[in-house]
Amino acid sequence: MATICVPVCVRRAEELAGAVNLAARVGDVVELRLDYLNDPESALVAVRELADRSAAQIIVTMRGADQGGAGSHGSEVRHRFWSRAKDLPKVLLDIEFDLLTQAEESSLDWNRVICSHHDFRGVPPDIDRRYERIAATPARILKIAVQADDATDCIPIFRLLERAEVERRKLIAIAMGESGVMTRILGPSRGAFLTYGSLDEENTTAAGQVDARELRESYRVDSIDRQTAIFGIVGNPVKHSLSPQIHNAAFAEIDLNAVYLPMQVANVNEFMRRMVQPRSREIEWNLRGLSVTAPHKLTVMNRLDWIEPTAREIRAINTIVVSENELHGYNTDVAGFIAPLRAKLGSLKDARCAIIGAGGAARAALCALVRDRAQVELFARDPSRTDFIAHQFHADSRSIEHASFHHFDVVINATPLGTRGAPEAETPAVAEQLRGVRLAYDLVYNPIETRFLREARAAGCETLSGIEMLLSQAAEQFKLWTGRESSLDVMRTAAMKSLVESS
């Protein structure tokens, strides 16, 4: 069983008891971030009572501003706080290394001390030396947390966990930020003393912190071990991807020892070399396959040992299979795109289809429609961006400006317009442009109700959400990775639950 620590970060001392009760329901350990309080010393009486009553282990933390603290408490306040807090019974004391070096050894119960160091600038080049300095203290538990700016920044964290396991030291090692999420999920299976999970999305205390319930229910962190097959989605960003929920639900349904992780990657060439390619990777893990999303679908092609013809034809990889010592590339977007459309309309022969977009999704849609003998035209703000792929598949390329789609049977949004976040209020076409169209198909899936689909319904069109393509292509990926069929119903339920919770 993994040990999950849930931080509590309330503003008033009288809120501590209720917050601890909530945190203890989803975690094994509760961390009291007392630096969030205006007067943390006044809360020590309440903490003493909580330690006596709570079934969960409690960690008391008083972080300085340079170590990620929420308040403006200086070193003098922190020294005074710890001089009083050190006598608290039962609780663990998370004290920064810079304070511990000034403490009298005889004044602390070192068996209850977590000696910690945080670096929010990145991974320090001397991270091993910093570990050694912390390990030289009498503290029973060590903690190192560093900012990860790319997925490869997780490598030093995994190495520290391996070293601590060999040296039989209790270590909490975390790579903070969205690129470090994998260390939070895989850490316990690699000997980490605990991992941190938030009470909910609004109560995170560090970037990249995962909801504690999600750690247990979706990622099944208690079941992960060294033999667990590891899969993940590689992109930048990946935070809002539904793929982890979809694939982890499918793995759980067939009781497969596997986990699917979000992997935010900036430099995909370095990631492929240092973490993926079996002949050169720098960590030992049972990596079996990857999904690839923007902006890496083309770049990863140079790092593969074999590429299927369809992926090579449209110059986009969205699936990688680790086959012994080789990396094989596929594109399941083509099959994933066309399956829901066929289910909706039947034969697409001679159907008049307009694709709006110039990226990998547009190329996949074009390839699929041409194979089904549809009549296709590409639309983009800059038609020169679509000229090559249009010429390759004998399609026309036009400007989206002032375009009218009344004579088309199907209009497909293959742009990111409408995606949750900054472009959510945008649409590539409005109702006036879509009047007369039979079906509008939006490849954006988050949110499920996009502006493009609202405009299409206002124009009297049938609609098809991108969630159907996501599920269909995911089922194809699942089959490539495992050789088994997945349950679309299970995948859909997981996707819709996640969409509802994030809306």
For residue 386, CA distances in Å to 160, 177, 343, 414, 443 come to: 47, 36, 28, 12, 18
Is pLDDT at 379 greater than 80 in this prediction? yes
Q: Are 403 and 429 in contact (CB under 8 A)?
A: yes
Average pLDDT, the chain: 92
Give the pLDDT score at 407. Answer: 95
Token pair in block for residue 334: 């083509």
Closest CA to 353 of 428, 284, 424, 411: 411
Is pLDDT at 71 greater than 70 in this prediction? no
Using CA atoms, how far apart are residues 93 and 107, in angstroms rounded to an integer?
A: 13
Q: Are 448 and 467 in contact (CB under 8 A)?
A: yes
For residue 475, CA distances in Å to 220, 243, 440, 492 come to: 20, 11, 23, 11
Give the pLDDT score at 122. Answer: 94
Give the pLDDT score at 54. Answer: 85
Give the pLDDT score at 465. Answer: 96
Work out the average pLDDT over 56-63: 92
Homologous superfamily, domain 336-464: NAD(P)-binding Rossmann-like Domain (3.40.50.720)
Cis peptide before 423 (omega within 30 of 0): no
* Greatest CA separation for the chain: 84
Burial 244-258, CB ≥16 within 10 A → b, else e = bbbbbbbbbeeeeeb
Residues in the chain: 503
DSSP secondary structure code for residue 209 in this structure = P
Give the pLDDT score at 309. Answer: 96
Instruction: Convert the pLDDT of each residue in 265-313 to its tens digit.
Output: 999 999 999 999 999 999 999 999 999 998 999 999 999 999 999 999 9
Q: Where are the beta strands (DSSP E) in 284-409?
A: 287-292, 306-307, 319-323, 326-330, 352-356, 375-380, 396-399
Work out the average pLDDT over 452-464: 97
Give the pLDDT score at 3. Answer: 97
Q: Where are the beta strands (DSSP E) in 334-380?
A: 352-356, 375-380
Q: Where are the beta strands (DSSP E) in 111-257?
A: 113-119, 141-147, 170-176, 195-198, 210-211, 229-235
Task: Name which CATH class applies to 4-226.
Answer: alpha beta
Q: Which residues pair with 97 in a beta bridge?
A: none
Catalogue the active-site residues.
Answer: 297
Confidence band of 98 (pLDDT split at 50, 70, 90):
confident
Closest CA to 176 of 123, 126, 237, 130: 123
Is pLDDT at 105 greater than 60 in this prediction? no
Give the pLDDT score at 86. Answer: 84
Domain boundaries, the chain: 4-226, 232-331+471-502, 336-464
Of 26-35, 61-70, 140-149, 150-159, where does mean pLDDT reach its minimum?
61-70
Q: Which residues pair with 95 in a beta bridge?
A: 115
The CATH code belonging to domain 232-331+471-502 is: 3.40.50.10860
% of the chain at pLDDT higher than 90: 76
Is pLDDT at 166 greater than 80 in this prediction? yes
Is pLDDT at 74 greater than 70 in this prediction? no
Give the pLDDT score at 455. Answer: 98
Closest CA to 63 of 91, 102, 94, 31: 94
For residue 39, CA distances in Å to 14, 73, 78, 95, 324 come to: 12, 9, 11, 18, 58
Task: Show the CA angle centred on residue 158, arms to residues 195 and 57, nearest 5°.
Answer: 20
- How is the beta sheet containing 462-464 ordered, strand by strand? 396-399, 375-380, 352-356, 410-413, 439-442, 462-464
Q: Matching CATH topology for 4-226 and 232-331+471-502?
A: no
Using CA atoms, how far apart are residues 224 and 240, in angstroms rounded to an integer?
A: 23
Closest CA to 496 of 451, 445, 453: 445
Strand pairing class (319-323; 326-330): antiparallel
Work out the average pLDDT over 7-18: 90
